Amino acid sequence: MSRPRTFAILTVGVVALFVGGCAILYYVAFAPNTGGFEGKKSVKIAPSSSFAQAVDSLAADGLLRSATTFSLMARVTGWGDQIKAGYYEIPADASNYDMLETLRKGLQSPIRITIPPGSRREVVAAVAARNMAFDSGSFLAALSDTSLARSLSTDTTHLFGFIMPETYFFYWQTSPEDVIRTIRKEFDRRYERLVAGATAEPPLTADDAVTLASIVEWESDIVDEKPRIAGVYLNRLRNSWRLQADPTVQFAILALEGSKRRLFFKDYEITHPYNTYLYAGLPPGPITNPSMSSVEAVLRPEKHRYYYFVATGEGNHIFSRTLTEHQRNARNYRRLMQQRRAQVGG
C-alpha cells in the first residue's frame, strides 16, 4: 500500500474518531437524560450531601435515566463538587448539562406554602413544615421564641395570631424564624391599610385586634356577617360586659381534652383563663390564626345596638338587643337542633 493512501486512511480514521468522540460528548452533555416523566419533577439535595449522595437522590426520585452519563459529565466538567443543597424542579427534557448547571448554581425553585385560616398552631406548623427543610417542632419552637416575638413587636402569647392565612413562597432551607418574619411583614403591610380607616371603639392594639379577630374567625365563615359579630363583642367590651364567646370555651376544651366537641351548660363554668364566660375582657391571646376578613371586621365593625347572637341552624346567626330576645332565639335554635337529631335518630 502506498504511503499517501495509508496517510489518507489514517487521516479519515482520526477524523472519524474525533467526530465520533464529539458526538458522544455532545450526547452525554446535551441529550435529555431524565427518567421518562412529563412536566417537572422535584428533588431535594440535603445540606452536606456528597456528589454520590446527590446522584442517589436524583435517581431515587426518578429524575435520571442514566446515572453513569450524569456522573461522567460531572467528572469531565468538574461540577460534581459544586452542587448546592436545595429544592429543585427539573423539566422532563433536561440534559446532564442542564441539571448540573441548575444544581451547581443553586437555581432553586421556591416552595408554595398555603397557611389555612382558623387552625390550631400544630396544624399550621405541620403545613408550614410539610415540604421545608425544618420540621413542625422547629416551627412551634420559633412561635414560642421570646426574642423573635419581641423583635416582631409582640409576645409569644399573641405571635400565632399574626400567622396570616395566605399563600407564600419560600426557599427550602429558609428557617422557621424567617418564615414567621416574612408572614408578619406581609400581615403588617395589609394591617396598616386597614387600621388607617379603623372605626373600632374602644380602639384596639394589634395584639388585641388579632385576639378578637380570632374569636370572630371561629364564630362565622360568612364574610359579610363578621363585622356584625365583631360589633357585638365591641359593644360588650365598651360596656364592660363579659364577652361570653363560645369559641373561647371551645378553645379551653381543646386545650384540656385535645379536641373540639359540642358544648354543654357545664362547660361554661370550666376554670380556664380563656373562658370569657368566667373572665372579663379579651382572653390572654388569640385562639387561632384569623383571616384578614376577620381582622378587618374588628377594625371596621358594623355599628349597631346588638349585644347577643345565636346560630340559626342554617349557617348564619340571628342577632338581638335584649336578653329576652336572645333567650327566645336560643330556645328556637335548641328546638331545631333537637328536631334534627330526632329525625336522624328516627
Domains defined for the chain, CATH in brackets? 28-105 (3.30.1490.480), 113-193 (no CATH), 202-345 (no CATH)
Q: How far is CA 249 from the centre of its chain?
A: 26
CB 275 within 8 A of CB 268: yes
Residue 38, φ and ψ in degrees, nearest 5: -110, 155
Task: Read off the pLDDT band of 187 (50, 70, 90).
Answer: very high
Does 217 score more than 60 pLDDT? yes
CB 230 within 8 A of CB 298: yes
pLDDT tens for residues 131-156?
Answer: 999 999 999 999 999 999 999 999 99
Cell of 309: 347572637
Tell me if the bond preceding 202 is cis, omega within 30° of 0.
yes
pLDDT confidence of residue 34: 86
Burial of 101 (0-12, 13-18, 19+ CB in 10 A): middle
DSSP 130: T
Q: How far is CA 314 from CA 220, 260, 308, 329, in A?
A: 12, 20, 18, 13
pLDDT confidence of residue 28: 63
pTM of the model: 0.88
Does 5 score more than 70 pLDDT? no
- Helical (H) or strand (E) element with 169: strand 167-170
Task: Read off the pLDDT band of 62 (50, 70, 90).
Answer: confident
Angle at 105 between CA 102 and CA 110, to 5 degrees: 70
Cell of 170: 419560600
